[in-house]
Structure 1
Amino acid sequence: MEPESGVNGTAIAEFILLGLVESPGLQPVVFVVFFVAYLVTVGGNLSILAAILVEPKLHTPMYFFLGNLSVLDVGCISVTIPSMLGRLVSHKRTVPYGACLTQLFFFHQLAGVDCFLLTAMAYDRFLAICRPLTYSACMNHTVQRMLVAVSWVCAFTNALTHTVAISTLNFCGPNVINHFYCDLPQLFQLSCSNIQLNELLLFGLGVLMAGAPVILIVTSYTHVAIAVLRIRSAEGRKKAFSTCGSHLTVVGIFYGTDVFSYMRLGSVEASDKDKGIGILNTVISPMLNPLIYSLRNPDVQCALRRVLTRKQAMV
């Protein structure tokens, strides 16, 4: 997707990403911190995925979705952090126009799938707790695969729409982005075209991609909470709330940061707050997910020990 000079295209061939810090003295520190965070995130999520594959007890719909979520987390952080680390090493802050739009596409693709997978996990908990007699039939292997496939197709449509829409804008003035990756709000601020249609598109698709899933998640967990409170066994209530609590924590972090990021389009200048939210989106959330799901889950902990023991034995 090469830029074209002239009336109908952008005159800018590349953007300048300022990154997290501009001070040369702090850049090595940032590199080490985020390099370690990247390794921890990738290692943690791949460990969860390996645990799910080797432990028969985890061959259930909930962990099938969790395994897919771990793959997405690895992809999400890989879209943004390695390129940022590369710029820190090379001391070059320029990003070609096409590479910027490519990064934007894959980021929204993976984040979009995340939205739907979190919704599928909430629906799974609703069926398991509120409809236990029909759970196996309603959440069989075919349904699981269909939910994941539909998630990818819907997210692809959303990401492609935004990428094509942003490619129609003219960029003929400043090309400095006060962020460490390319995203819609920051590109909107640099465009010399009328972005009203793009903002409406972002809001409309945002309602479909985030608003609808949130409504479904809240509805599912309202029914789940009512059902759990009816359980007479204190141990049963504790186990149900523990499982649901992990998922709700991830949902809260994911949607909270997204709403803050994309509903602040009235701001003329990018702020350092956007960088903080970007770190939460692309680093902290993917890094915390394995901990959140495994910290209070004995089955996952047991499977992780088996994976680590097997690795040590091979060494």
Structure 2
Amino acid sequence: MFKMKKVWIFLLLFFVFACNTGSNGNEPFVNFRSGTQGVIFDFVPNQPPYKIYDDERVNVLLQVENRGAYPVGKQLDKIYLSGFDHQLIYPLDNFNGKQIPDLEGKTIDNRGIVGKDYVEFQLGVNPLTSAHYPFKMMATACYGYQSIAETPICIDPNPFSRGSSAKVCVPNSLGLGNQGGPVSVSNVNVEARKGRTSLTFNVQNVGSGDVYKRDSMSHCNPYSGSELDFKDLDFVEVVDVLFVGGESIKGFCKNLVDNNFVRLQNNVGSFTCTVDTDNVGSEQTRVLRVILDYGYRSVLFKDFDLIHVPR
């Protein structure tokens, strides 16, 4: 009897953690888009070591991982090295950076798998005229990403009615957590009235880097001759807001710049969409999807010391 009780407890815990149930509906909802990271990268230890010498080439090796829920490796997804005197240290190929390898993101079938690969740079070195040259190398990752928030939500055309039967759901504001990317829809505030429901979405940069318009990715290159500025930074494109299996409501959203972008201030921003519920017969739970698109920049620093070798 005791063993049977333990089995039932185990099964109960399994279903609790496997499914995320919306707070205003009773349908189990599997969320594989989790985490606040996209592309992360780091210098491989001793590749190169702290001390490097001016009589040999320098190989720089970076390990790159995709810990989010969107694939990377497109043409403009690149890593750049900078921060050093190009009269002394220079790339052997060009200043156009190295493309981030094709790395799949999390899916419903591989929720625990992280795409991982390496990016290698070869640098030439000119002879020093001094004993050594200490410098800080900066690696910059520039990539396009997408975050998709999905949640069951209650739509009630007449939330204040006092009918003879119990309601199947009640409209409530929802915390959405994070969606497997450095930008998230943190929560949606629901304001239901007769014939209309207003949904206010709060968007947040939850990563440690900079978010910018995806069509400005070429400006992320530190050698491009142009910089990301106030017209590019802190803009997230709202690609669509829709009910899964149904209609888009993006055309009924406001507080969007150029009808497409939410502007972040201090890493947060919001926009509001209105749902016409006059033609909805009764309260119902529907799955809402919000698709966000953006470019993202992350930087990493490492100190080195270039040593002169007497000839």
TM-score of the two chains, using structure 1 as the length reference: 0.26
Select the structure that is richer in strand.
Answer: 2
TM-score of the two chains, using structure 2 as the length reference: 0.26
Which protein has the larger Cα radius of gyration, Structure 1 or Structure 2? 2
Question: Greater RCO between the two (CA within 8 Å, min separation 6)?
Answer: 1
